[in-house]
Amino acid sequence: MTVLHQPLTAQRRGIVIACINQKGGVGKTTTAVNISGEFARRNLRVLLIDCDPQGNASTSLGISKRNLEHSTYEMMMGITPVHQTIQPTRRPNLDIIAASERLSGVQVELVNVEQRDFRIASMIEPIRHYYDIIMLDCPPALGFLSINALAAANTVCIPLQCEYLALEGLAQLKNIIDRVHGSLNPRLSILGVVMTMYDGRTNLAQQVVDEVRKFFPVHICNVPIPRSVRASEAPSYGQLLYEYDPEGRATLAYQRVADDLLQRLNMVGGQR
């Protein structure tokens, strides 16, 4: 485990972004991990918190879950102080709180705890000022962990696959975000919709983008992430796309999306 970085002369902004989509297989974790990596490359201090019991974000960064002692589960249960669950990723400016399958039981174990929807929010509060951005990689379900992430977040990033069926859950997700905004977290907003697995050779992909643009005219990111075999391969090597395929089309697209999101956050070029 890592020790938190030395106190800074000025506190960081600690903007919390929930990367969420209840549908699996849409490139959510790929987006969360690689956008976090791109933010870190722009000289921003970034903490990625794996909120998915599958722990795919952790694996993608080369973190072994086999002997993981301090994880998101221990943080949420209050077993381990949050600063002791943070570990480095061997990349400048990028840390992680990894997840293991133990996290799947947290909903049952916290069922009688007051303010249980705010566990993530309360646990990360002591370390927010050490980071510019805290990225929450949510599970592919609108359950307890996702609601906790939305209650903790300032804003939401929605990866959306460029296929027709992906549109079906979009209204449901927007409804959940609106409900959390109305009842749990009035500061919650939508940062951007990232179109993933885009295949420019098909009319369907562009039709889906056009439909999403009608639904989210302000929030959709103008650069879609192309379908990429390299993006599927990189996690098996514990590498980010810019490490595994520096000049790849998906790599370059994520770089442009990261710049787009930073503009929306008023953090252009990594400047605070």
pTM: 0.94
Question: At which residue do the structure tokens 């209650």 appear?
Answer: 151
Domains and CATH numbers, the chain: 15-266 (3.40.50.300)
Tell whether the model's pLDDT for residue 8 goes beyond 60.
no
Provide the edge-to-edge strand list for the sheet that holds 155-161. 87-91, 94-97, 46-50, 133-137, 15-19, 155-161, 189-196
Over the stretch 39-60, which tens digit does the pLDDT of each residue have?
999 999 999 999 999 999 999 9
Over the stretch 96-155, which tens digit does the pLDDT of each residue have?
999 999 999 999 999 999 999 999 999 999 999 999 999 999 999 999 999 999 999 999
Q: Report how far apart, in Å, the C-alpha atoms of 173 and of each of 59, 72, 150, 180 are.
A: 26, 24, 11, 11
Residue 265 tokens read as 């956050």
The per-residue pLDDT for 12 is 85
Q: pLDDT tier at 189 (50, 70, 90 boundaries)?
A: very high
Q: Measured between alpha carbons, how far is 66 from 101 in angstroms, rounded to an integer?
A: 10
Q: Measured between alpha carbons, how far is 96 from 45 in angstroms, rounded to an integer?
A: 11
The residue-averaged pLDDT of 225-248 equals 96
The residue-averaged pLDDT of 240-245 equals 97
Share of the chain above pLDDT 70, in %: 94
- For 227, residues 6+ apart whose C-beta sits below 8 A from its C-beta are 197, 198, 199
Q: pLDDT tier at 215 (50, 70, 90 boundaries)?
A: confident
Would you tell me the crossing angle of helices 203-215 and 170-183 to the nearest 10 degrees? 20
The values of phi and psi at residue 34, to 5°, are -75, -35
Side chain identity at 70, as an amino acid letter?
A: H
Mean pLDDT of the chain: 92
Q: Measured between alpha carbons, how far is 96 from 131 in angstroms, rounded to an integer?
A: 12
Q: Measured between alpha carbons, how far is 231 from 96 in angstroms, rounded to an integer?
A: 20
Q: Measured between alpha carbons, how far is 85 from 68 in angstroms, rounded to an integer?
A: 10
The per-residue pLDDT for 208 is 92
DSSP string for 225-259: PBP-HHHHHGGGGT--HHHH-TT-HHHHHHHHHHH
User: Which range is least confidently modeled, 18-22, 62-66, 156-160?
Assistant: 62-66
In the chain the beta strands, taken as DSSP E runs, fall at 15-19, 46-50, 87-91, 94-97, 133-137, 155-161, 189-196
